[in-house]
Amino acid sequence: MIPVAKPYIGPEEESAVAAVIKSGMLAAGPKVVEFEKAFGEFCKSEFNVACSSGTAGLCAATSVLDAPRGSKILTTPFSFIATGNSILYSGFKPLFIDVDPDTFMITAEGVKKAFESDPDIKAVIPVHLYGQACEIHEIVEIAHHYGAVVIEDCAQAHGATENDVPVGAIGDLGIFSFYPTKNMGTGEGGMITGSNQKLVELAKLHCNHGAPVRYHHTHLGFNYRMTSIAAAIGLVQLQRLPKWNEQRRYNGNKLSNALKDIPGLKVPVVRQGCEHVYHQYVIECEQRDALTTHLESKGVGTAVHYPTTIPDQPYYKDLGYNTDNLPIAHQLTKTVLSLPVHPLVSEDDLSTIINSVKGFFI
C-alpha cells in the first residue's frame, strides 16, 4: 500500500536526540533556542517561540488577545478542529464564513464582507490549507483597517509563500505544527511566529506559566514548552525541508499534469503568486467513496481531509452551529480526497497512483 503519509526519521535525527539525552538538558534548553532562531530565519520571522504543539500555539495566540471574552473571531469552517477549538478555549466566539470553491480557503472578499457586516470582529484566523497560502496580505490589510488581529494557521504550510513572502511572517501571529505527518516534524511540537513583537512575547509568557523569569508569574499561563528532544529533531528536519518541499511540488505537479483532463475529477488549483508545498494533494470527485474503494484495491492509500466541517461537529452543533449558510464547505466534505504526495512517493508510486485513478474513470 502506498501510504497517504509517511514520516521519516533518519540516523541524523537519532544522533541529534542521543546527543540531547547525553547532555542531560531534556526540557527547554539551548537546542530549543537554536531551533527558534533557525525556523525564524527560514520563514523570515524575527519573533519566534517554540511550543509543545500547533494546538498549544493556537491556544496561546488566542489567549493573549486584548479583547473582551465573548468577542467574535472570524475563521474557516473547513479545517482541523483545533482551529475552532482554540477560539472557544480562550472564551471567544467563532464566526465562520464560507470558503472559495477552488482553494477551499476563506477569501479576502469574504473577510471584507464579514467586517462590513460586523466591524466588532476582534481577530481573524485564516488557514493556509493543504500547503497553499490564502490571500493573507489582503486579509491582513482588511483586518488591520478594522483594528483586528490576524493569526495565521500555518500548521499545513511550512515554506509556502505568497508573493515570495513565507507564511507565518505576514500576520500578527503565525502558528505552525510539527506533528509527524506535517511537511517537517518534531514528534509533537509547534512554533509561534509573527510580525507583532508584543503579542509574540505575550504568547511566550503564556507557554511558560506566565513567567518571564523562574518563580515570578506576571500573567496567566501554562506549560506549553517544547522539549529539547523535539527541538533537536526539528533542527535536522528543517535542513531537509527545502528538498522535501521541492519533491512534494514535483509529485503534485506530475499528478496534476496527468489527471487534470479527466472528466468528473478536479485537481488542486494553485493560486497565482503562490508557492504550494503540498502538505496534502487533494482532488475533488463526486464518486469519492467508489474511487476510494477502487484505489485501495490497487494499493493506493487515501484519506479525507475533512469529512466534517467544524460547525457540523457534535460539540459545535450543541452550541447552535451548523453549515446552513456555508454550502461550499459542507459540499467539500463529500467530495475531497487526498492522494499520496509525500517525498517518499517514488516514480513507480506516481505511475501506480496515476494509472489507478485513470483506470477508475476509463
pLDDT tens by residue, 155-184: 999 999 999 999 999 999 999 999 999 999
Please report, for the chain, the start and end positions of each structural domain, with discontinuous segments joined by +. Answer: 11-236, 241-361
Domain 11-236 identical in fold to domain 241-361: no
Residue 38, number of CB atoms within 10 A of its CB = 15
Burial of residue 11, with CB atoms counted within 10 A of its CB: 0-12 exposed, 13-18 middle, 19 or more buried = exposed
**Cα angle at 45 between 143 and 167, to 5 degrees?**
55
Q: Do 59 and 90 touch, CB atoms closer than 8 A?
A: yes
> Which residues contact residue 82 at a Cβ distance below 8 angstroms, ignoring those fewer than 6 apart?
54, 55, 58, 155
Q: Which fold has domain 11-236?
A: Aspartate Aminotransferase; domain 2 (3.40.640)
DSSP 8-state assignment for residue 59: H
pLDDT at 70 over 90: yes
| 150 strand-pairing partners | 124
Burial of residue 269, with CB atoms counted within 10 A of its CB: 0-12 exposed, 13-18 middle, 19 or more buried = middle
| 337 strand-pairing partners | 283
User: What burial letters (b/e) apply to 126-139, b meaning 16+ CB within 10 Å?
Assistant: bbbbbbbbbbbbeb
* Mean pLDDT calculated for residue range 258-274: 97
Q: Do 329 and 97 touch, CB atoms closer than 8 A?
A: no
pLDDT tens by residue, 327-343: 999 999 999 999 999 99
Across all residues in the chain, what is the average pLDDT? 97
| 234: Cα separation from own chain's centroid | 16
> Which residues contact residue 361 at a Cβ distance below 8 angstroms, ignoring those fewer than 6 apart?
262, 263, 264, 265
pLDDT at 29: 87
Residue 28 confidence class, pLDDT cut points 50, 70, 90: confident
pLDDT at 20 over 90: yes
pLDDT tens by residue, 108-149: 999 999 999 999 999 999 999 999 999 999 999 999 999 999
Burial of residue 4, with CB atoms counted within 10 A of its CB: 0-12 exposed, 13-18 middle, 19 or more buried = buried
State whether CATH 3.90.1150.10 applies to domain 241-361.
yes
Q: What's the length of the chain?
A: 362
